[in-house]
Amino acid sequence: MDNDQNHKPYDLEPRTLEFAKAVVRFCKRLSKNTINNEHISQVIRSSGSVGANYREANEALTKKDFVYRIKICRKEAKETHFWLELMLEANPDFKAEISGLMNEAIELKKIFSAIINKSV
């Protein structure tokens, strides 16, 4: 990334990692069936991608690449929220836990949107 004086790295690496770990811990508790297995696969992939792409963004060589990677983070956070909504439909007994994960997905999406707005 360009080393301009206004760029300060965001300390989201631990937060995005913890989010992906929380999704994994939650998914391990779900019963295994055709519906859950598909949703688990998708939500694990998208939640992990949030943090992985954030790390990529922090290593970006240009501002354009940084913004592109942050947009992917935002997209993956939105996708994670989608899969969590479907998981809630299939697992209403886990409403409190799923709602907490959904709230974090929304918060991360908002943070990435703010980063994008400040970067362009």
Report phi then psi at 69, rounded to 5: -65, -40
Nearest to 116 by CA among 40, 53, 39, 28: 53
Q: What pLDDT digit, counting tens, does each position of 62-101 carry?
A: 999 999 999 999 999 999 999 999 999 999 999 999 999 9
- Predicted local distance difference test score (pLDDT) of residue 120: 84
Class of 13-119 in CATH: mainly alpha
Report domain extents, the chain.
13-119
- Predicted local distance difference test score (pLDDT) of residue 10: 54
Residue % of the chain over a pLDDT of 90: 90
pLDDT of 4 above 70: no
pLDDT of 35 above 70: yes
Give the pTM.
Answer: 0.90
**What is the C-alpha to C-alpha distance for residues 87 and 21, in angstroms, rounded to an integer?**
17
